[in-house]
Structure 1
Amino acid sequence: MTIENPTGFSRRALLGAFAATIVTAAPTFSNAAGFLRGSGDIRRIRMYSGRTGERIDMIYWIEGDYVREAVKEVNHFMRDWRTDGVKSMDLRTIDIMSAAHNLMDANEPYMLLSGYRSPQTNAMLRSRSRGVAKNSLHVKGQAADLRLSTRSVSQMARAAAACNGGGVGKYSRSNFVHMDCGVVRTWGR
């Protein structure tokens, strides 16, 4: 039995075109924003704070644009709870957090341990722990320390690292993952 091909393309040419389409349509992990471009018309962030008791479930990006009021709420939520200081968070960090959450297919919101840190808070934490960087990206509003009870530190770190958008630190003993939009790098156990 022969099947007629009304388009005039050979089976091999059609398969080649299909393969090229799949490669082109596959999500790119070159950065979190690139990954999120293929995920639809919205970006969402879900978190809660054990320190303040606050929760946020926010669509912060719609059809190519950040939602100004939503971003303000995210900034306020991620404030330094010790000083009540608010800083505009680098949206690349929020994108990495959102992309990693999507990759893990998690329904649970992140527990935010630390977002923005004032210089005073960072200095105080640094005096208590060798693990706090003097020039922490938290002080610049470019980092977050997060936890999920339904995912391991390794699972979270792998998802964040797959975004290839910044630094990912595994803190297994303290049960959290650091995500930032700085230089792409990984550390920790």
Structure 2
Amino acid sequence: MNMTTTGISRRGLLTAFAATTVAAAPTFANAFGLLRGAGDIRRIRMYSGRTGESIDTIYWIEGEYIKDAIKEINHFMRDWRTDSVISIDVRNVDIMAAAHGLLDVDEPYMLLSGYRSPQTNAMLRSRSRGVAKNSLHMKGQAADLRLKSRSVGQMAKAAGACHAGGVGRYSKSNFVHMDCGPVRSWGA
């Protein structure tokens, strides 16, 4: 699932992305400040401990989403329990990428949960009070993420700085929920 780019050095690509990733927030009224001086590329890097898969892809270049990269992201963020795939909302991918850039890390996100089928959401809800009945995960608009090198507080602060969606702190479980729903925050 790894996508490589030829003709561009990894360091050059990372430098360009780091310089522009703050602008990777979606076009919401509250996100215009992050869009000023938007760069030419957006990149997302994640791995899944559940499936053993990883993704490292540039999904946006010069104002255009790359269809094949988005398709790869959709597959990567599928409900691994049911192998169900839907279209992930690119606004959420933008939030994840922008927050990652603000954290200034080389480490990819660990994806704990992306899309959830209604069946998976109901099963998880029966096991935990923390799972919403109408979770944005079921619409492909949310992700639960972890970084070994950053705390839940640091990740939540970076996601919140995007002013573009919901940010949930789950310190006991060591992950941050990021979504492209209404701007709000919760947890400790």
Query: 1:122 is aligned with what amino acid?
Result: N
Deviation at 1:38, TM superposition (A): 3.2
SS at match of 1:97: helix
Native 8 Å contact 1:28 1:34 kept in 2: no
Q: Where does structure 1 lack aligned partners over 5 or more consecutive residues?
A: 1-25
Paired residues in the alignment total 163
Change (3 A) 1:179 1:94: same
CA distance in 1, matches of 2:100, 2:73: 16
SS at match of 2:122: helix
1:5 alignment counterpart: none
Query: 2:119 is aligned with what amino acid?
Result: Q
Deviation at 1:36, TM superposition (A): 5.3
Change (3 A) 1:128 1:71: same
The runs of at least 4 aligned residues of structure 1 exceeding 2 Å deviation read: 26-31, 33-39
Deviation at 1:165, TM superposition (A): 0.5
1:101 alignment counterpart: 100
Native 8 Å contact 2:23 2:39 kept in 1: no
CA distance in 2, matches of 1:46, 1:27: 17
Deviation at 1:44, TM superposition (A): 0.2
**Residue 68 of structure 2 is aligned to residue 69 of structure 1:** yes
CA distance in 1, matches of 2:86, 2:61: 22
CA distance in 2, matches of 1:123, 1:28: 33
Matched-pair identity in %: 75
**Residue 157 of structure 2 is aligned to residue 158 of structure 1:** yes
2:39 alignment counterpart: 40
Native 8 Å contact 1:44 1:61 kept in 2: yes
SS at match of 2:145: strand
**Structure whose alpha-carbon radius of gyration is higher:** 1
CA distance in 1, matches of 2:78, 2:35: 25
Native 8 Å contact 1:146 1:178 kept in 2: yes
**Residue 135 of structure 2 is aligned to residue 136 of structure 1:** yes
CA distance in 2, matches of 1:49, 1:73: 14
Native 8 Å contact 1:35 1:163 kept in 2: yes
Compute the TM-score of the two structures, normalised by the length of structure 2.
Answer: 0.83
Compute the TM-score of the two structures, normalised by the length of structure 1.
Answer: 0.83
CA distance in 1, matches of 2:122, 2:155: 27
2:15 alignment counterpart: none
CA distance in 2, matches of 1:52, 1:27: 31
